[in-house]
Amino acid sequence: MESPIIAQLGQDVTLSCPFECGLNLQPLNITWKKEEAEGRDLLVHSYYNGMETLQRQDVAYKGRTQLHPERFPQGNASLTLRRVRSQDEGFYICHVKLDLGRFSVRMQVTVEGSVSDQPSLVLYCAVFFTLLIPIMFMIIKKHCPDQLRKLRFWS
């Protein structure tokens, strides 16, 4: 398998799907799916006999995918995925079926800038409490100086 396709979080990415084509592209059927570990693959995009058929497209991809029919005669069934999300990371399969036969391409998409690359909740909490403690101390010092003297934290 080739090296993974790197997609940037929030950006568009084009997934390549080359196939051998002859003079006749009819019938041409293209199906893009995302492999899922738990159960059925997700339908990302489908094209049957000259028409996009998106009725069964998975909701996660609605309005975010585009084929390029002008590239079909060159043997290119590439798919553009818009506004990449961290959930888009994984393995994709492109199936092309025409009179000459069937062609399939499998590829891995890795999303950079995904949630795992973001600063963690632990880091946010550490910064918050590091700032909170001195602020609380200043409030107590201002409003309850006698209590601090009794605790011998402040002389």
Q: Do 41 and 25 fall into the same domain?
A: yes
Distance CA 69, CA 96 (A): 13
The number of distinct structural domains making up the chain is 2
The SS3 assignment for 128 reads: helix
CATH number of the domain residue 108 falls in = 2.60.40.10
Asked if 4 contacts 109 with a C-beta cutoff of 8 angstroms, the reply is yes
Let me know whether 93 and 126 are in one domain.
Answer: no
Same domain, 89 and 103: yes
CA distance 144 to 3: 63
Helix (H) or strand (E) holding 47: strand 42-48
Q: What is the pLDDT along the chain (155 residues), one digit of tens a residue?
A: 567 899 999 999 999 999 887 666 678 899 999 999 887 899 999 999 888 988 999 999 999 999 999 998 898 999 999 999 999 999 999 999 987 788 999 999 999 985 554 555 555 555 555 665 666 656 666 776 666 566 665 55
Domain residues for 40?
Answer: 5-116
Same-domain check for residues 96 and 52 = yes
Output the pTM of the full model: 0.70
Same domain membership, residue 123 and residue 109: no
Distance from C-alpha of 30 to C-alpha of 102, rounded to nearest angstrom: 10
85 closest CA partner among 13, 16, 35, 33: 13
Helix (H, G, I), strand (E, B) or coil at 40: coil
